[in-house]
Amino acid sequence: MSEHGIHHVTAYAGPAQRNIDFYTQVLGLRLVKKTVNFDDPGTYHLYYGDESGRPGTILTFFPFDHAAPGRVGVGETQETAFRVPRASIGWWTHRLVAKGVPHEAVAHAFGDPVLRLRDPDGTMLALVGVEDAEESTHAGGEVPPEHAIRGFHGVTLLLGASEKTAAILTGVLGFHEAARDGSSIRFASGAAQGGFVTLKAVGGFLSGRPGAGSVHHVAFRAADDAAQEAMAKALVETHGLAVTEQRDRQYFRSIYFREPGGVLFEIATDEPGFTIDEPVETLGRALKLPPFLEAHRAQIEDVLPKVA
């Protein structure tokens, strides 16, 4: 069955080891792929997710040792939220205190408790306590399975105005308007994981500046190449947007476009997934390179910072 929703979210980060330690140990995600940025192979591309890195659970980073900090502003993803069981919000609050992770008091949004925190680069994250949390498919680090993150809840995009972005979400990406809360509109796709996008219209406000702690793009799901092609056609013909050619990202195939609110969107296929070049048991341990970079492995390994 073809599902709509968020496929992955990609952000910039500071040092790779610090990024790995935070996401695998503190948050308990699984490092499901250690590869390089195919467009800049001297840089890691790290993927975190559930046991197998299913669409809707994947947060990825381009880490740079000396990354300048970014600034969140209009035309950017303001917050990336994960799902946890509602009963686990208290446990997570204690954990963030114990780990010295900057966070806010529990607030409420759209009826759910929200625990907002920042990663070591200042990336704005949230844990949303949901009533109907899925069974956990990965408990990593010190996080027991009952409290484990269950993939994405959704993202919040900061926009000057939300109408044109809303039209893309509902007309092309498979979402429908689900709720309003102040100046925020929430769209839902029906997917359990990565099923929400919230648009927050703030009018004239500083633009975002890319850098450590900021999100580079949000990718949405397409079941396969045919579904992706139909979505590209709608973006071009109905919405007048420019869309890139398909790029092979080894674990999915992608097209990219700048949505009308300024946020970089991607549409990524569900297939083939992260087990195409290593078994699920050992995902993320070895540095994996796509065939076109394998001949350069020695030079690439030479320039990449060492990580454990």
* Segment contacting Zn ion by CB under 5 A, of 121-129, 211-219, 236-244, 273-281: 211-219
| Under rule CB under 5 A, residue 270 binds Zn ion | no
Nearer to Zn ion, 11 or 20 (CB): 11
**Stretch of 112-120, 185-193, 218-226, 293-301 contacting Zn ion, by CB under 5 A:** 218-226
Q: Which helix (H) or strand (E) holds 284?
A: none
**250 forms part of the interface with Zn ion (CB under 5 A):** no
Number of residues that bind Zn ion (CB under 5 A): 3
In this complex, which beta carbon is closest to Zn ion, that of residue 10 or of residue 88? 10
186 vs 217 by CB, closer to Zn ion: 217
Give yes or no for residue 57 binding Zn ion (CB under 5 A).
Answer: no
d(CA 129, CA 87): 7
219 touching Zn ion, by CB under 5 A: yes
Structure tokens at 93: 């609050």
Q: Which of 266, 267, 270, 284 binds Zn ion (CB under 5 A)?
A: 266
What is the b/e burial string over 152-173, where b = at least 16 CB atoms within 10 angstroms of the residue's CB? bbbbbbbbbebeebbebbeebb
Work out whether the CA dihedral 169, 128, 103, 69 comes out positive or negative. negative
CA distance 295 to 288: 12
Q: CA-based angle 119:17:153, to the nearest 5?
A: 35
Part in contact with Zn ion (CB under 5 A); list of ranges 21-29, 74-82, 173-181, 258-266: 258-266
CA distance 268 to 6: 9
In the complex, minimum distance from the CB of residue 101 to Zn ion, in angstroms, rounded to a whole number: 26
Q: Does position 10 bind Zn ion by CB under 5 A?
A: yes
Pair of tokens at residue 108: 């409420």
* Least CB distance to Zn ion at residue 256 (A): 8
Most distant CA pair in the chain: distance in Å? 54
Output 118 or 249, the one with its CB closest to Zn ion: 249
**Contacts to Zn ion by CB under 5 A:** 10, 219, 266
